[in-house]
Amino acid sequence: MAQSGRPVRNAPPRISSSDKKPADKSFAWPTQLEMRVPFEPTAFPSGEKSYLMYELYLTNYGSSAHTFSRLEVLDADAGEAAPIASFDAEQLAAMVQPIGDISGKNKLTLGGGQSAIVFVSIATGRKAHFPRRVVHRIRMGDTALEGAGIATHHTTLHLFGPPLEGANWLAADGPSNDEDNHHRRGVLVMDGSPVDSRRYAIDWKQMQNGASFSGDARDVHSYYSYGNAVLAVADGRVITSKDGLPDNIPGHGEAFHPAVPITLETVAGNTITLDLGGGQFAYYMHLQPGSLRVKAGDHVRRGQLLARVGASGDAREPHLHFEVTTSPRLIRGEGVPYLIARYRSSSKGTQEEHTHDLPLDNEVIDFGEAMRSTRQHAP
């Protein structure tokens, strides 16, 4: 009874200090690391192997830094099977590109609020085939995090004829995972989203005895590539035919002075874009002024002459930049792989015949035999 004599109803029981339970301090939020692949890849063959190339984006949403020690790529449908690929810290250091300025910092340490791109490239035997889906496991000390499940056959592999004719064509900055490959590392933010239209692009340069020219290095006519025929790789409709930009005087580094200021409108130079169907588009860039033989709306056949190799736009020397993307707008699409019906390659002193393959970085390609088998398609 209270002092007033009235009963106290629903009074809480008294708890002595010795009966209080300490707060549970063992709870912790899961690792606040986002893993995502903005554009799912498509495996493609080249030689005796098949390749899978894509970008894994990492963002640290927490306040504590994370240091990566290993990346494993797993078959998403195989349970506890061994990884199909595993990259240790040394390998990861060559694959990671931090976003923003982290000069002087460890590339494998991602601080709070920081992001990075991991450029992934996996090779397997041509007949082994990649799993239908893969998932990623990041190891950070004693912690492991799985996520970013993706498919491995996202787009159709179009089968092409050659974009050029003849021999000794160097596939400069072709498909590879090298740190200095400006196509592979060519991620740009366009319309608010990161894209890499150049993921599988090739700068085709004709070579002789290891050189791309003979004579005056500042004369476009000294270059073996200049003026060579550029061919339609497939039947398609021309959606862009841009002419009128002058050739540059060749030069590299500080010696490069473009004939016109480089902007989004001029970077590709004189350009032809083909609609291949199925949401894929072939781009031919840096074409010789006055050489374009087609206009927007034309329908072309595989093997048809489109233009000639030039040095317009952001071209340090004459070459053909060729890529296939998912957008009819320049640089806005995602680069996708494709196959060339037949060609011969030479690399490190060996020659190899290819059927339904995509050339890799720095292979030297002979399209001669392929041309004899595809010229019948030209009108």
Retrieve residue 249's tokens: 């005087």
pTM: 0.88
Measured distance CA(188)–CA(182) in Å, rounded: 12
Q: What is the pLDDT of residue 106?
A: 86
Measured distance CA(210)–CA(189) in Å, rounded: 36
Retrieve residue 90's tokens: 């040394």
Task: Name the percent of the chain lying above pLDDT 90.
Answer: 82
pLDDT at residue 247 greater than cutoff 50: yes
pLDDT at residue 218 greater than cutoff 80: yes
pLDDT single digits (tens) 25-63 = 677 778 899 999 999 999 999 999 999 999 999 999 999
* Closest by Cα among 223, 214, 185, 193 to 318: 223
pLDDT single digits (tens) 333-372 = 999 999 999 999 987 677 899 999 999 999 999 998 444 4
Q: What is the pLDDT of residue 80?
A: 79
pLDDT single digits (tens) 189-203 = 999 999 999 999 999
* Closest by Cα among 47, 94, 76, 32 to 348: 47
